Amino acid sequence: MRAAIYVRLSRETDETTSPERQRAACEALCEARGWDVIVVEEDIDVSGFSRGLDRPGLQRILTRLAELDVIVFFKIDRLARSTVDFAEIMRLAEHQSVALASATEPLDLTSSMGRAMAKVIAVFAELESDTIGMRVSSAHEHLRREGRYTGGRVPYGYMVVPNPNGAGKVLAVNEDEAKTIRRIVEQVLAKDSLMQIINDLNKEGVPSPGHTSRQTTGKRSDSKQWYTTTLRSLLGNPQLLGQVIEDGKPILRTDGLPLVNRPPILDTDTWQALQDELERRANPGEKRREGTSLLRGIMHCGVCGERMYTFSGRNGQLRYRCIGPLKYRQRAAKGEEKPGEKCYGPTVAGVTTEEHVTEQFLAKYGHLPVMRMVQEVGEDFRPQIRQAEEALADLQKDRYDRGLFKGDDGAIRYAEQYAKLEDRLASLKEKQRTAKPGGVKEEPTGETHAEQWKRSDVAGKRDLLLNAGGYVEVAPARRGGKKLDTSRLSVHFGEEGHMRRAAAVRKSGRDETPKEDAG
């Protein structure tokens, strides 16, 4: 008979049913029965309970049933952890006239009685698996509350170290990664765009969380690149506060506070300021910066005051053109034209104009330090107030909806926990009433305008021009000449530029509310 041997182990460190032991027992059975082993398949570090039949090694055997007479395994629980899965394997095997044989259990699966007995054993195997699962969950819960590391992915900003207070391991702050996190947070609170932050990190070769995260097996990701989703996921994770997260939510203590079992990387006030800023950027009502042309929103027509937009001229060359004529035709079609209103729409070469404005800007500001507005984090106890209120509501549900806290002892414990939460809630509300508000201050970034200009993308360079009051007015072209006539360009910065922009807005009657970067 042609035999296939199947070996499965949830964790390779489990010595009681090691792959070698399973395989040796199966080979001994095949030798004793005179069966020819034509294939051996293994699933290592694969749970039979959570994966069902979706196991690579098992699937390879099931696809070759037509070539087999018998499948040999160490025990039924190695083949399947649930009666449903075991019954499905039996059905597939019987359909191809393939027998099932256990190397350690006295089963004859060629008879109806033997198959019934196998199903009974599978039921007990499933029950044992459930019991083990509950014991593991309970043990993990105990270790978490003691501050111990329970395995799995290590959050970015942390590392696994021996427990200084006893057995096992704990999570400690990885200072290099924590430094990166705090730097990112400072940049976000200073209104730097997420894309600019990502570009800086990738340019500097800072490894991403996906690359530095490690399982207990020491596996690593190949990708070092940062992405917007990576950054948002990192910055929105309460694990930065040292909290224990399960199913995307913090685990709460009996007093309603989040369980903290490791040193926090951010303090609560900084965390809340960060979340407020990220929420502001994610608001779909806020508009992004316009376009990707350097002088869009900066260059205005000297005739009508309208802004100038880019288009492709002859030979595909970039040019800026006044939008005034289009707006005039639109108003005329509606009978809304203004007396004396007329603009033929002057144009100007794009690349050479941008180069000229860049030279003017760097000559005036290139040597000066870039300043940024930094939010000074104030005190905000609102998140803690919400958590305390939710804990009170959950406590009430535990007693009145879920039937917990029964009897006199239960009533006493309920009253004690309720009183603690009420006291905490009152204390937090008083702290919020007297909380120190945040503020904004100006501080140097450590870069000159020339240095920041060099590393910025087009949108970042346009922001530098706008922040400096950049305003360019284009006069009508003179006859003749193919080169840029710089005398047509009036370039202004500082207060003069801001004043001219305001005057142009009033002249054109348009709304030019500042737009935020959603980045």
pTM over 0.75: no
Q: With DSSP H G I counted as helix, E B as strand and the rest as coil, what are the percentages for the chain, rounded to 5?
A: 50, 15, 35
Burial 257-294 (b: 16+ CB within 10 A, else e): bbbbbbebbbeebbbbbbeebeeebeeeeeeebeeebb
In the predicted model, is pLDDT for residue 517 greater than 60?
Answer: no
pLDDT band at 359 (very low <50, low <70, confident <90, very high): very high
* DSSP string for residues in 408-435: HHHHHHHHHHHHHHHHHHHHHHHHHHTP
- Using an 8 Å Cβ cutoff, are 100 and 93 in contact? yes
Q: Which residue has the higher pLDDT, 258 or 410?
A: 410
Q: Which residue has the higher pLDDT, 342 or 212?
A: 342
In the predicted model, is pLDDT for residue 492 greater than 90?
Answer: yes
pLDDT of residue 254: 59
pLDDT band at 114 (very low <50, low <70, confident <90, very high): low
C-alpha span between 33 and 21 (Å, rounded): 19
In tens, the pLDDT along 231-275 reads 988 998 888 888 777 666 666 665 656 667 778 898 877 888 888
- Using an 8 Å Cβ cutoff, are 2 and 38 in contact? yes
pLDDT band at 501 (very low <50, low <70, confident <90, very high): confident
Characterise 15 by phi-psi region: left (phi > 0), alpha (psi -120 to 50), beta (else): alpha
**Which residues does 216 contact at the CB level (< 8 Å), separation at least 6?**
151, 152, 160
Mean pLDDT value of segment 430-447? 80
CA dist 220 → 56, 154, 181 (Å): 22, 11, 20
The residues spanned by each domain of the chain are 2-140, 299-370+442-508, 381-434
Mean pLDDT value of segment 137-150? 50
pLDDT band at 479 (very low <50, low <70, confident <90, very high): low
In the predicted model, is pLDDT for residue 457 greater than 90?
Answer: no
In tens, the pLDDT along 151-207 reads 667 888 888 888 777 667 778 889 999 999 999 998 888 778 888 899 889 888 888
pLDDT band at 143 (very low <50, low <70, confident <90, very high): very low
Among 1-5, 43-47, 109-113, 283-287, where is mean pLDDT lowest?
283-287
For the chain, give the number of residues. 519
Q: Helices (DSSP H) in 223-323: which residue ranges?
A: 228-235, 268-282
Mean pLDDT value of segment 458-486? 84
In the predicted model, is pLDDT for residue 113 greater than 70?
Answer: no
In tens, the pLDDT along 372-382 reads 766 666 777 88
In the predicted model, is pLDDT for residue 290 greater than 50?
Answer: no
E strand map for 213-313: 245-246, 249-250, 299-301, 308-312
User: Average pLDDT of the chain?
Assistant: 78
- Using an 8 Å Cβ cutoff, are 41 and 58 in contact? yes
- Using an 8 Å Cβ cutoff, are 309 and 321 in contact? yes
Residue with tokens 């203590």: 253
In tens, the pLDDT along 335-351 reads 766 655 677 788 899 99
Q: Which residue has the higher pLDDT, 355 or 482?
A: 355
pLDDT of residue 285: 43
C-alpha span between 253 and 257 (Å, rounded): 5
C-alpha span between 288 and 517 (Å, rounded): 5
pLDDT band at 286 (very low <50, low <70, confident <90, very high): very low
In the predicted model, is pLDDT for residue 306 greater than 70?
Answer: yes
Domain 2-140 has CATH 3.30.43.10: no
pLDDT band at 137 (very low <50, low <70, confident <90, very high): very low
pLDDT band at 135 (very low <50, low <70, confident <90, very high): very low
pLDDT of residue 287: 42
C-alpha span between 98 and 69 (Å, rounded): 5
Among 117-131, 147-161, 269-283, 430-444, where is mean pLDDT lowest?
117-131
pLDDT of residue 76: 80
pLDDT of residue 128: 54
pLDDT of residue 354: 94
C-alpha span between 77 and 48 (Å, rounded): 8
Percent of the chain with pLDDT over 70: 74
Residue with tokens 């970034």: 445
**Which residues does 405 contact at the CB level (< 8 Å), separation at least 6?**
398, 399, 411, 413, 414
pLDDT of residue 337: 67
pLDDT band at 385 (very low <50, low <70, confident <90, very high): confident
